[in-house]
Amino acid sequence: MANKEKFVYAFGGGTAEGNASMRSLLGGKGANLADMAGLGLPVPPGFTITTEACDRYGKTGAKALFGLIEAEVNAALAELEKKTGKVFGHGPNPLLVSVRSGAASSMPGMMDTILNLGLNQETAEALIKNTGNRRFVLDSFRRFMQMFGDVVLHVNFDLFEDALSAAKKAKGVKLDTELDADDLAKLIEAYGEIILKATGKPFPTDPKTQLWQAIGAVFDSWNNPRAIRYRELNDIRNLLGTAVNVQAMVFGNSGERSATGVAFTRDPSTGENEFFYGEFLINAQGEDVVAGIRTPQQISVAGSRRWAQRQGISENDRRSKYPSLEEAMPECFKALDDIRIKLEDRYRDMQDMEFTIENGRLFMLQTRNGKRTAAAAVRIAMDLTAEKMIDEKTAVMRVEPAQLDQLLHPVFVKGAEAAAEKEGHKIAIGLAASPGAAAGQVVFSAEDAEAWRAQGKEVILCRIETSPEDIGGMNAAQGILTARGGMTSHAAVVARGMGKCCVSGCGELQIDYAARKFCVSGQTIREGDYISLNGSTGAVYLGKVATMDPELTGPFAEIMKLADKYRKLGVRTNADTPRDTEVAVKFGAEGIGLCRTEHMFFAADRIIAFRRLILVAEKVKQLKALTACSDLKELRHKLTDAAAIAAVDQYERALAGLLPLQRGDFEAMFRTLAGRSCTVRFLDPPLHEFLPQTSKEQTEMAQTIGCTTSEIKQVVESLHEFNPMLGHRGCRLGITYPEVTAMQARAVAEAACNVPGSKPEIMIPLVGNVKELALQKAIVLKEIEAVSKERGKTLDIKIGTMIEVPRAAVTAHEIAKEAEFFSFGTNDLTQMGCGFSRDDAGKFLKDYVKMGIYDYDPFQVLDQDGVGELVRLAVERGRSTRKDIKLGICGEHGGEPKTIEFCHRIGLNYVSCSPYRVPVARLAAAQAALKNA
């Protein structure tokens, strides 16, 4: 165990105090730098200040922490000077360092970095004398001032960019690299003036002061808004903070034999492993590769040729203007390629590597398990299994279940894209940064993307280039389109992590934020216009291109097969139509865990019949009570009043009209299920939901049905409830109007007779008292027996209940005497168990989660400590009465991975979720089994 009072760990020169297993303490970057150094790879030496120091910084402040760690930092700095033969801050051979963040979980671009730290007038002159390259030193100095001014001094970054743009304009050039040393010297003066004006103080020239301020700024960046939002979106929790990595600078901007780049051991978009993937720039520093100002070049010849072909660039132009690293610096490429193989073999996963080449010498700055799309994650997991690098269980654990959702969304309909291109709707081509298809209305800011999405609109976020501040809008958008940036730009990396379609580096776009438009190919596209993106090819189309569900074969089918091999939980679906059922079965559902029959009543061809029933239901109930009749047949014999008889006739006709419609739905679903189980929940919502609420709608209904508007209004008023979710609904409706329960039971039974091999299960909702279930069960059994006798068939239809009332959970041992199965309706159980209204809790639950009152929104992730205990209690008590009782969960939580693991631990038989979450549930169930083996 690490000494709790040790806050600084050195690495470099072939040795390291840390290793890859120390991620929680050293952060991912620091742990892997130490590991690479220990392997003898060319890592610039440095030291890591631990995440525990960041935690202490947050609790005690900078002064207390820095006093505590100053001696360790000074000792590590002295050791770094020995390893490099340079002196920090002065002398003929000055040492410059980078100061970079690095948490235990990768958070690309969310925290801050400062390069070239240690530069001042004295050290700059010494470096110029040493290198003989004044332009390189001054370029490094202006970069340092810009980064330090932005990150540490909080000077508006745009002020530096404006000054840089002005310098290029005055010179008549487009690229930073075209500015000479004198131009850069003037720019440094301009930056100094900007900083003095913004802060009231000159730029700090003491390197030690620079270092401590930079360390504090990196610690501060742990809690900047974009980092907090990133952790929220990616559910990154329980980390101490970020480590700080102080590392000797190596310079990719020191001339034509220098370069910087980002490389991947496999394609992070597709997972393919055909060649060496990545981008680099000659005579550049790290930020240049992702900034998009210059066009990055590809690592390998094969990758370069593919890129050029997609961009319509000839081979001659590619070779002369955009040569690959393999061609431009073959020795460095060979060394990097050898390291690629070594690192992937070491970590048994796809690696994302940063490197710098200084005067022909390769240095490794980082390696980490690379962010990847869902398609890439699945393919890489299966390929690594086939290559014997990982086993099946590891492959199953490698893919985030929720990430599979990325694979289940539409792609362009076959032929639709070709048609759009033929019609001239293709307006641009950029980089295929993150695959998939997306269509939506154009917006130009992250704020608008979030606001429009909140209104139910689908949007495409269009930016010159994205920055970490855009993360909320990127999350809200269907897809992202940028004018600048390569395959490793912020937009590309973040979009791949989110599973968002992204086209980056579309240089033809001329975006005008003020006018809310962009121009391309002679056309003007304004805010609100529709465009479509193909993130797999980089194509941009005007208008909406039709989409379709993806084909889920190949690696996806393979990992699903592995998931099914290791999971213990069954996976069903919540489906109310044959179409939903068909989709779910295609995704691997083993049956229906929740068929909500009320959804069948809302269709246009049956809502009228159901409304006719509602209009007279209470009157028929009263007539039965007055005559002491238990059924309609007996009631009819006793009635003499014409109006009363008419009401009963209307009631019976409505039921008779609904019966074949319900039966037909069940038959279609049973046929689609092909022998899989189907749990049918009887009518649940309150009756007022089926009636029109406005005067206009009530008048229209009266005209359709043939009654007066006042009659409609009277019924609507009579059904009004102050708290309908706790009112006359669920089994209470069936007890009040038993004929509805009988009609539904008959529809299920007759459908089962008509579709051989059907396995229906009838679920009575909202039971809180065993007597409620007993009353409804008696009606159901009577109808099943009647249909069996009429058809001469034996029907095996299980009868159970939905446990969604806290009292039902507490008295589950009693309810199990009547129920053959329980299905936990965790939506209502959460509502009643927590005392939260699903319709209103959104106003405060986000604050509750931020304040740590709840770890997650309990309507999205099951509250295991509270509501989960009710479920656990019901499981124990139900099985104490009926050992073979079947137990499942059918609330929205049924497709949520953390909830699925909980369901596995407490011994449920299955989970049920929406059709598109079935693959997520299958994988999550397998991971739950492996974690809890």
From edge to edge, which strands make up the β-sheet containing 459-463? 426-429, 539-542, 530-534, 437-443, 459-463, 479-482, 501-504, 431-434
Contact 294, 178 (CB under 8 A): no
CB contact burial 530-552 (16+ within 10 A = b; e otherwise):
bbbbbbbbbbbbbebbbbeebeb
DSSP 478: S
Contact 510, 484 (CB under 8 A): no
Q: Cα–Cα distance between 44 and 417 in angstroms, integer?
A: 48
Q: Cα–Cα distance between 458 and 479 in angstroms, integer?
A: 9
Of 332, 425, 490, 904, catalytic: 490
Which neighbouring-strand residues pair with 352?
264, 368
Contact 10, 80 (CB under 8 A): yes
- Non-local (6+) Cβ contacts of 641 within 8 A are none
Contact 661, 600 (CB under 8 A): yes
Q: Cα–Cα distance between 166 and 195 in angstroms, integer?
A: 17
Count other Cβ atoms within 10 Å, centred on residue 329.
Answer: 21
Which two structure tokens, joined as six digits, stand for 814? 């009693």
Q: Which of 576, 590, 558, 543 is nearest to 442 (CA)?
A: 543
The alpha carbon dihedral of 594, 596, 597, 599 has a sign of negative
How do 361-369 and 910-913 pair as beta strands? unpaired
How do 351-358 and 361-369 pair as beta strands? antiparallel
Q: Which of 296, 291, 353, 306 is nearest to 328 (CA)?
A: 296
Q: Which of 295, 310, 283, 284 is nearest to 489 (CA)?
A: 295
Contact 427, 567 (CB under 8 A): no
How do 411-412 and 547-548 pair as beta strands? antiparallel
Task: Write out the E strands in 553-624.
Answer: 570-574, 591-596
Nearest-5° Cα angle at 230, 226 to 231: 120
For residue 540, how far is the Cα from the chain centroid?
Answer: 24
Q: Cα–Cα distance between 553 and 898 in angstroms, integer?
A: 26
In DSSP notation, 300-323 reads SHHHHHHHHHHHT--HHHHHHHS-
Count the helices and strands in the chain (H runs, E runs): 38, 34
Q: Cα–Cα distance between 858 and 896 in angstroms, integer?
A: 11
Q: Cα–Cα distance between 195 and 188 in angstroms, integer?
A: 11
Which two structure tokens, joined as six digits, stand for 281? 């720039």
The letter for the amino acid at 179 is L
Q: What are phi and psi of 762, to 5 degrees?
A: -105, 125
Nearest-5° Cα angle at 309, 541 to 519: 30
Instruction: For residue 637, indicate whether it is catalytic.
Output: no
Which two structure tokens, joined as six digits, stand for 869? 């205990």
Q: Which of 253, 245, 265 is nearest to 32 (CA)?
A: 245
Contact 280, 247 (CB under 8 A): no
Contact 459, 476 (CB under 8 A): yes
Report the length, in residues, of the chain. Answer: 933
- SS3 of 527, please? coil
Instruction: For residue 890, indicate whether it is catalytic.
Output: yes
Of 501, 890, 903, 913, catalytic: 890
For residues 409, 413, 416, 418, the Cα torsion angle rounded to the nearest 10 degrees is: 90
The catalytic site residues sit at 490, 890
